[in-house]
Amino acid sequence: MSDWIRTMVYYGVGISFGVAVAAGLFAFITTVGVVTRLAAGTKTAKHVMLYESIAIVGVTAANLVDLFQLQFAGGVIFRALCGLFSGVFVGCLAAALAEVVNVFPVMTRRIKLTVGMAWLVLAFALGKGFGAWYHLIIGNGK
């Protein structure tokens, strides 16, 4: 196999991988409805196309940084923003995922819970926060 054929195959295969992964990942994010809920919660549904564009930029940039081990200047403020907002997103993802698989309705029906839904949600959020804190800060992420 001559070199340039192999190179072409690499590019073909690589692009297919990328397209498949992107479609899968975003089908998942869309179905779970994270961005939809964020947009609904802040009443900014008309900017949904902007959010989609930003997701494209975010994924592309982070993937480049990850695969090519790019280094870039980012101070403590960048790290704080990065941590805070990826936390917000993953939190929404976790909550939306729990909702999509009907954890709350099923549990409340089983144990006939009718009041205190707000407390349940608060407990869910605090539990996530505590878990992350315990794992990352106390347990050093191990």
Partner 1 sequence: MSREITVFLQFDQCVLVKQNRVLLSEVASIYGSEPAMRQKIGALELHRFPKEQKEKQVFSVMKVVELIGRAYPEVTVTPVGEPDFIVEYKPEKKRKFEKAAEWCKTGFVALAVFFGSAFTIVTFNKDAGVDEIFPMIYRLTEGAERSGPGELEIAYSLGLPLGIILFFNHFLRKKIDSDPTPLQVQMRQYEKDVNATIIENATREGKKVDV
CB of 82 to partner 1, least distance (A): 5
CB nearer to partner 1: pick between 14 and 129: 14
Q: What are 2's two structure tokens?
A: 């001559």
CB nearer to partner 1: pick between 13 and 126: 13
Other C-beta atoms within 10 Å of 96: how many?
Answer: 19
Q: Following CA atoms 42, 46, 48, 49 in sequence, which dihedral angle do they give, to the nearest 10 degrees?
A: -150
CB of 107 to partner 1, least distance (A): 18
Q: What is the C-alpha separation between 35 and 92, in angstroms, rounded?
A: 9
CB of 96 to partner 1, least distance (A): 11
CB of 141 to partner 1, least distance (A): 13
In the Cβ-directed half-sphere of 129, how many Cα atoms lie within 13 Å?
Answer: 8
Q: Which amino acid is at 135?
A: H
Rule CB under 8 A: which residues touch partner 1?
A: 1, 6-7, 9-23, 25-27, 29-31, 33-40, 42-45, 47-64, 66-69, 81-82, 85-86, 88-90, 92-93
